[in-house]
């Protein structure tokens, strides 16, 4: 019973932080109308909480019994049992069992955390020794209470697990509280008289108060360039929406009004590009192309069979931020996708580069070493009401940091560049209320563990689309708040604002679920909306354009010459009459077949006008007229001849040498990518 109670206590300590953060967000939302309290309310449901704590109790009882049996079989253990205080002995065994289980889970996922386990493990051993020594018992039994051990354990783990300042502050608060209580119990008044719930509530208050303060100081800043005294060049805000396909946005004619903010922007003069294509079907190469203006074949940020965690952007490929910084722009970035890690080179040229962690600190993405996640995985595998935790920060969290960056840069004369990345449309599609029920089809029994492993049932597809569309509506709402801040700062008119998706998403279209494994329009046709500075009118541009055009467009607006070998062209001068071939590539094939490190892409798509050719699918050539057949149902191969000029373009594309780029193989980053589904099925 003591073992089960101790494990329940550990579960409560973990849950206290989660509940306190969610509760604080809900209170904040109530106090500030219009501010959405993001999070996953299902995760805090009574059913899920009860099951999680029940699993803790059962696991604790079984593991404590196993440790006790081990002691019985050891001569020294039998002697210790004979003279030990039973209650102290069992509580010591229970505390050690938690630390050992935590260590086993941590070492299997994040070995770097091992040093953080030394102190709690030492406290557990001290409690076990004191249980059988009457002289030591009086001083050390209270000081090594399981509650203090658990606080130090979680605090040390948070400190060792991430560089993130916000989470480090939480770890410091927990470790500091555990240390103070340890010292007080050893040499001071008997704090053991204070009820444990009161102590936990006090700790939660410290954490909730400390986290916003730490977030304010979270910028990793470098020196900013000084702007010229009379610099009238436009500010640049580049917004990348992760996993957003164009045909699910009402500004592109979708039946559900998912994007009223973007529609209003178009009505006020923003330009909507109706046929924008990205050069890849997943984040790492696509965003690298948006920021360099180069194809993945040139900048080298990709994935391969030999390197499933991906490789970084070539040092020979300058990023937009680098070019603008040299031209006197102040630069900042706020990103939610862990793929945009500085280790891949995305922070080059950015003075303040912020990654926004998921605010649920016990998620599989940001906290892979927490014992709670092992319990969550077990529950999710057997229960229909166990949705995944948030795997990335929501748009409101990104906006909070983005607004601080905007206000900071707007307070100084001269132009700035701000890069923003939002993840709300990425699986597992967790729009907050009321957006989760805005569109019909939500299925409370939907189970995520089966996602992507087989074709979707009609009910599953309806659920996924309803939540995806809800996430788009929520994201659009938060974009409205961001644009409102830009207006309030008086920087909107002289700003170049670019909104673009990095890739699309498939809901069993062509037998594909998710993204990264095909080059159909659902994967590579994305929204591209540009608000030009001082533009009296916008309109819609139907000429084919590419994400590679973003860099030349921004540089032209900033008065900076574009590189002579740029792969894109300015969006201000689309030319329907000039021949243009737009190439997209995929490093992953159907069934997650990866290309080799020096091999050409597994699939290549070539578009010219309304015609599109796909090669390498395993189905031979596929030729579509995407204007007449936007869903790509009618393969025209054999009915229409492919011009020889197309084959010459593809041949020249495949003959380009791959760049030399540094490999990043940090195990911790690999686990974060695996949690998002980016590292799977490839040879290790």
Instruction: Give yes or no for a contact between 418 and 405, defined as CB atoms under 8 angstroms apart.
Output: yes
- Report pLDDT digits (tens) over 261-289: 999 999 999 999 999 999 999 999 999 99
Residue with tokens 């699910």: 248
Task: Give the residues across from 499 on adjacent strands.
Answer: 239, 529
pLDDT at 23: 47
For 550-569, what is the mean pLDDT? 91
Distance CA 424, CA 475 (A): 6
Task: Flag the least confident range among 79-93, 229-243, 412-426, 601-615.
Answer: 79-93
Instruction: Please give, one letter per residue, the 3-state secondary structure of 46-103.
Output: HHHHHHHHHHHHHHHHHHHHHHHHHHHHCHHHHHHHHHCCHHHHHHHHHHHHHHHHHH
Backbone angles phi, psi at 498, to 5 degrees: -115, 125
**Which of the four pLDDT bands, split at 50, 70 and 90, describes residue 346?**
very high
Distance CA 684, CA 681 (A): 9
Residue 2 CB contacts under 8 Å (≥ 6 apart), including other chains:
64, 87, 90, 91, 94
User: What separation in angstroms does the CA of 68 have from each of 5, 84, 97?
Assistant: 16, 13, 10
Task: Flag the least confident range among 370-384, 494-508, 595-609.
Answer: 370-384
Q: Is the pLDDT of residue 347 over 50?
A: yes
3-class secondary structure, 235: strand
Helix residue spans in 383-490 (DSSP H): 395-410, 458-488
Half-sphere exposure of 464 (CA within 13 A, CB side): 22
What's 235-356+393-574's CATH class?
alpha beta
**Which of the four pLDDT bands, split at 50, 70 and 90, describes residue 656?**
low
Q: Is the pLDDT of residue 374 over 80?
A: no
pLDDT at 593: 44
**Which of the four pLDDT bands, split at 50, 70 and 90, describes residue 49?**
low
pLDDT at 27: 46
User: What separation in angstroms does the CA of 235 have from each of 330, 490, 536, 549, 646?
Assistant: 9, 11, 17, 18, 39
The domain ranges of the chain are 2-216, 235-356+393-574
| Both tokens assigned to 380 | 């999710």
User: What separation in angstroms does the CA of 490 have from each of 231, 476, 540, 603?
Assistant: 16, 21, 26, 46
pLDDT at 13: 62
3-class secondary structure, 333: strand
pLDDT at 104: 75
pLDDT at 430: 86
**Which of the four pLDDT bands, split at 50, 70 and 90, describes residue 250?**
very high
- Report pLDDT digits (tens) over 83-131: 667 777 777 777 777 787 777 766 665 666 677 677 778 877 777 777 7
Q: Is the pLDDT of residue 524 over 90?
A: yes
For 243-254, what is the mean pLDDT? 97
Beta strands 235-241 and 495-501 are parallel
- How many CB atoms are closer than 10 A to CB 458? 8
Q: What percent of the chain has pLDDT over 90?
A: 34
**Average model confidence (pLDDT) across the chain:** 75
Work out the end-to-end distance of the chain between its first and last CA atoms, rounded to an integer number of angstroms.
44
pLDDT at 3: 59
| Both tokens assigned to 147 | 């509650």
Distance CA 531, CA 24 (A): 36
pLDDT at 125: 79
Q: 198-204: which pairs have CB atoms within 8 A and are 24 or more residues apart?
A: 199/147, 200/12, 200/13, 200/16, 200/147, 201/16, 202/177, 203/16, 203/151, 203/173, 203/174, 203/177, 204/16, 204/17, 204/19, 204/20
The per-residue DSSP string of 584-615 comes to EEESEETTTEEPPTTSPPSEEEEEETTEEEEE
Chain-centroid distance of CA 328 in Å reads 31
pLDDT at 290: 97
Residue 221 DSSP code: B
**Which of the four pLDDT bands, split at 50, 70 and 90, describes residue 479?**
very high
Distance CA 107, CA 178 (A): 23
Q: Is the pLDDT of residue 60 over 60?
A: yes
Half-sphere exposure of 282 (CA within 13 A, CB side): 22
pLDDT at 407: 93
């Amino acid at each position: 019973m003591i073992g089960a109670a101790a494990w329940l206590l550990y579960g409560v300590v973990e849950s206290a932080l989660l509940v306190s953060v969610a509760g604080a967000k809900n209170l904040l939302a109530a106090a500030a109308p219009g501010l959405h309290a993001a999070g996953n309310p299902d995760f805090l449901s009574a059913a899920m909480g009860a099951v999680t704590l029940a699993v803790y109790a059962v696991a604790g009882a079984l593991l404590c019994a196993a440790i006790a049996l081990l002691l019985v079989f050891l001569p020294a253990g039998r002697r210790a049992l004979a003279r030990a205080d039973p209650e102290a002995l069992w509580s010591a065994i229970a505390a050690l069992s938690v630390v050992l289980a935590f260590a086993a889970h941590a070492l299997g996922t994040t070995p770097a955390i091992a040093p953080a386990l030394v102190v709690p493990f030492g406290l557990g051993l001290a409690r076990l020794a004191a249980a059988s020594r009457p002289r030591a018992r009086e001083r050390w039994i209270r000081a090594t209470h399981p509650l203090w051990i658990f606080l130090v354990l979680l605090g040390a783990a948070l400190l060792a697990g991430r560089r993130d300042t916000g989470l480090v502050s939480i770890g410091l608060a927990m470790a500091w509280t555990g240390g103070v209580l340890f010292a007080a119990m050893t040499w001071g008044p008997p704090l053991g008289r204070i009820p444990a719930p009161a102590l936990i509530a006090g700790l939660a208050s410290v954490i909730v108060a400390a986290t916003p303060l730490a977030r304010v100081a979270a910028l990793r800043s470098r020196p900013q360039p000084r702007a010229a005294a009379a610099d009238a060049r436009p500010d640049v805000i580049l917004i990348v929406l992760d996993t957003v396909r164009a045909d699910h946005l009402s500004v592109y004619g979708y039946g559900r009004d998912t994007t009223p903010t973007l529609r209003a922007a178009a009505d006020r003069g923003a330009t909507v590009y109706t046929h924008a294509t990205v050069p890849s079907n997943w984040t790492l190469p696509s965003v690298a192309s948006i920021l360099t203006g180069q194809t993945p074949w040139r900048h080298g940020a990709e994935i391969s069979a030999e390197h499933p965690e991906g490789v970084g952007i070539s040092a020979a490929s300058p990023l937009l931020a680098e070019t603008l910084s040299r031209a006197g722009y102040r630069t900042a970035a706020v990103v939610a996708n862990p793929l945009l890690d500085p280790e891949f080179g995305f922070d080059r040229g950015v003075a303040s580069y912020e990654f926004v962690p998921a605010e649920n600190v016990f998620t599989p993405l940001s906290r892979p070493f927490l014992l709670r996640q092992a319990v969550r995985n077990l529950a999710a595998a057997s229960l229909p009401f166990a949705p995944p935790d948030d795997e990335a920060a929501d748009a409101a969290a990104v906006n909070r940091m983005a607004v601080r960056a905007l206000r900071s840069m707007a307070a100084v004369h001269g132009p700035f560049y701000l890069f923003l990345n939002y993840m709300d449309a990425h699986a597992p599609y967790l729009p907050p209320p009321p957006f989760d029920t805005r569109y019909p089809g939500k299925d409370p029994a939907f189970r995520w563990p089966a996602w992507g492993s087989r074709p979707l049932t009609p009910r599953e597809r309806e659920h996924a689309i309803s939540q995806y569309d809800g996430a788009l509506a929520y994201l659009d709402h938060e974009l409205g708040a961001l644009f409102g801040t830009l207006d309030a700062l008086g920087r909107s008119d002289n700003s170049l604002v670019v909104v673009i998706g990095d890739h699309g998403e498939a809901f069993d279209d062509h037998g594909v679920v998710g993204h990264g494994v095909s080059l159909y329009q659902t994967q590579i046709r994305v929204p591209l909306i540009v608000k030009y500075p001082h533009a009296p009118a916008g309109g819609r541009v139907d000429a084919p354009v590419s994400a590679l055009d973003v860099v030349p467009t921004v540089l032209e607006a900033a008065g900076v010459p574009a590189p002579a070998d740029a792969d894109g062209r300015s969006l201000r001068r689309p030319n329907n009459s000039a021949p243009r071939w737009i190439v997209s590539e995929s490093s992953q094939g159907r069934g997650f077949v990866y290309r080799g490190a020096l091999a050409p892409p597994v699939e290549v798509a070539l578009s010219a006008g309304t015609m599109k050719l796909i090669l390498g699918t395993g189905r031979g050539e596929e030729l579509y007229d995407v204007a007449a057949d936007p869903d790509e149902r009618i393969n025209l191969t054999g009915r229409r001849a492919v011009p020889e000029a197309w084959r010459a373009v593809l041949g020249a594309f495949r003959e380009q040498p791959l760049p030399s780029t540094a490999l990043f193989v940090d195990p911790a980053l690999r686990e974060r990518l695996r949690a998002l589904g980016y590292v799977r099925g490839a040879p290790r």
